[in-house]
Structure 1
Amino acid sequence: MKKSVKLLLIAATAATALSACSKAPAKASEGSKEGSAYTIGIGQFAEHGSLDNCREGFLEGLKEEGIEENKNLTILYENAQADGGTASQIVNNFLSKKADLICAIATPMAQAAYSGAKKSEVPVIYTAVTDPVAAALAKEDGTSVGEVTGTSDKLPVEKQLEMIRKILPDAKTIGILYSTSEVNSEAAIAEYKAAAADYGFEIVEGPVSAPADIPLATDSLLQKVDCLNNLTDNTVVSSLPLILDKAAKKNIPVFGSEVEQVKIGCLAAMGLDYVDLGKQTGKMAAKVLKGEAKASEMNFEVIKEAAFYGNAKAAENLGITLPAELTDSAAEMFKEIKQ
């Protein structure tokens, strides 16, 4: 009887050892390049240069904080192609895959992410959100409404108007196309309208409800204005090549709001560096992932410095000379239009 018990104990000990051995490789892989300590879902609302730059900068910011893809980070990336319903589906997919954090790029994506993740308490870190307060992602004092925070790409409206006046001293009307479904654009329009008179301008609005509205809205607006000024409106930016082509045929300048828009043919912009914006966002996300702070404990952040970007080829095509006081201090001047 004693011998049987002894044999059973030996067998049980061997089984435990085998079980431990079978689990060992999985545990080891968590610290290896193949495994990952964190999973982040990156949801991008639309496909265009400035948002792509945000994503690139976000990953750079994480890497600088020791969180790097293929080492200790798994990235789930999806693009909503400027569709609100798709944005919500993307968030649900990230939650089903147990993402530790969601990075939401652009205002509609951030709103969908916070709404979808609120009950799960998965933190949302956003970037390229023009007005977090208007988007109901932050309170008036900048504090968070929940487990959500990030960075704002608030436009330097007065600096932009000042730049346009220097380049077009005789201009009176500025046309702005914008999507009525994007609160970021409505907030920017309100700010432009409030400041325009101080620089001798009148703002003429061109509201659209869908990308299909843009061709006719552009044609209508071009008949009423001396120039167009582009926002960071995701719906409109996606159709910017079309807008630039129509404006060029009427020899009407189009001003951008950031570097990528100037690269593809906007005359100039007092804009932000969206890679830097994304990098700042990545560092905020790293703090949350490492447990150094909760998203709800961090105010949203703003990049305050804007720089001049100009396109010499666009200026030549329009017969415009960009003032030396702008070009001499430019962050970057482009000699060709990127196709």
Structure 2
Amino acid sequence: MAAYSAAKEAGIPVIFSAVSDPVSAGLAASLDAPNTGATGTSDALNLEGQLKMIRALMPNATSVGVLYTTSEPNSVSHLAKFKELAPKYNFTVEEVGITDASEVAAGAAALVAKGVSCVNNFTDNNVVNNLSVLLNATNAANIPVFGSEQEQVKNGCVASETLDYVALGVTTGSMAAQVLKGADVKTMPVSVVTDSKPVYSKTNCDKFGITIPEEYKGATNLD
């Protein structure tokens, strides 16, 4: 935000990438008409698809734990939507908020203590950047973690309904090119990337006795 504020003050257009909720983050007045001197791409996670996957892979699960940074707008908005959708899949949501990366270990321990069936990650910077810390706690307690994108699955999570971040990057670059050619950043709509696909790690699933159900046999195994 400091870089955005400096650019805005200098009248320099800003193209952001992979901001889940640019309105809450203060980067856009609306998705259709940002009107702030900034526009870009939004990686609004497919939370419905994620919950559907968790239910399919863990038919007996009752609760999903979420570790998130309370000051990160993307995480706060994702959590609100996740909690809204969870009852549809017969899940309760147990949340633990942290303020910075130093609290990830304690937050992970708190989730384990709540006895959650599994944990779901968003794109929370503090959590993702310290994923190994979270996994150390959950693996020791035999609690699987579902990631928000495929790199998290490659690094130890069991599965994810992942967005295509390569396509998102291409879209962001295209928008930047349009601005360089004279397009007005204030009226250029935010591009929301919504296409997702299921991915999993058979190796990681096997550790928790998770069997891939028939409806996900076509999902990509990242092993």
Q: TM-score, normalised by structure 1?
A: 0.64
CA distance in 1, matches of 2:217, 2:174: 32
Question: Is residue 195 of structure 2 the alignment partner of residue 309 of structure 1?
Answer: no
CA distance in 1, matches of 2:6, 2:163: 29
Q: Give 1:106-185 correspondences, 5 Å limit.
A: 111-140=1-30, 142-185=32-75
RMSD: 1.2
Q: Secondary structure at the match of 2:68?
A: strand
Instruction: Give the length in aligned residue pairs.
Output: 222
| 1:73-126 superposed Cα distances (whole Å, 9 cap, x missing partner) | xxxxxxxxxxxxxxxxxxxxxxxxxxxxxxxxxxxxxx3332221121111000
> 2:35·2:187 contact (CA, 8 Å) conserved in 1?
no
CA distance in 1, matches of 2:31, 2:100: 33
Give the alignment partner of residue 252 of structure 1, picking from 116, 119, 143: 143
> 1:176·1:205 contact (CA, 8 Å) conserved in 2?
yes
Give the alignment partner of residue 101 of structure 2, picking from 192, 203, 211: 211
Equivalent residue for 1:334?
Answer: 222
CA distance in 1, matches of 2:65, 2:32: 31
CA distance in 2, matches of 1:128, 1:233: 12
Structure 1 residue 243 displacement after superposition: 1.0
Equivalent residue for 1:187?
Answer: 77
CA distance in 2, matches of 1:245, 1:334: 21
Specify the code of the residue in structure 2 equivalent to 1:268: A
| 1:102-159 superposed Cα distances (whole Å, 9 cap, x missing partner) | xxxxxxxxx3332221121111000110111111222245311322000000011111
Equivalent residue for 2:187?
Answer: 297
CA distance in 2, matches of 1:323, 1:129: 32
> 1:180·1:208 contact (CA, 8 Å) conserved in 2?
yes
Equivalent residue for 1:270?
Answer: 161
> 2:121·2:148 contact (CA, 8 Å) conserved in 1?
yes
Give the alignment partner of residue 89 of structure 2, picking from 160, 178, 199: 199
> 2:164·2:195 contact (CA, 8 Å) conserved in 1?
no
Structure number with higher relative contact order (C-alpha < 8 Å, ≥ 6 residues apart): 2
CA distance in 2, matches of 1:145, 1:112: 18
Equivalent residue for 1:319?
Answer: 209
CA distance in 1, matches of 2:216, 2:169: 26
Q: Give 1:5-154 correspondences, 5 Å limit.
A: 111-140=1-30, 142-154=32-44
- Identity across the alignment (%): 44
Structure 1 residue 297 displacement after superposition: 1.9
> 1:308·1:327 contact (CA, 8 Å) conserved in 2?
no
Question: Is residue 99 of structure 2 the alignment partner of residue 243 of structure 1?
Answer: no
Q: Secondary structure at the match of 1:271?
A: strand
> 2:29·2:36 contact (CA, 8 Å) conserved in 1?
no
Equivalent residue for 1:279?
Answer: 170
Q: TM-score, normalised by structure 2?
A: 0.96
> 1:113·1:124 contact (CA, 8 Å) conserved in 2?
no
Give the alignment partner of residue 228 of structure 1, picking from 116, 119, 131: 119
Specify the code of the residue in structure 2 equivalent to 1:197: P
Specify the code of the residue in structure 1 equivalent to 2:53: M
Structure 1 segments unaligned to the other structure (5+ residues):
1-110
Structure 1 residue 324 displacement after superposition: 2.7
Specify the code of the residue in structure 1 equivalent to 2:159: A
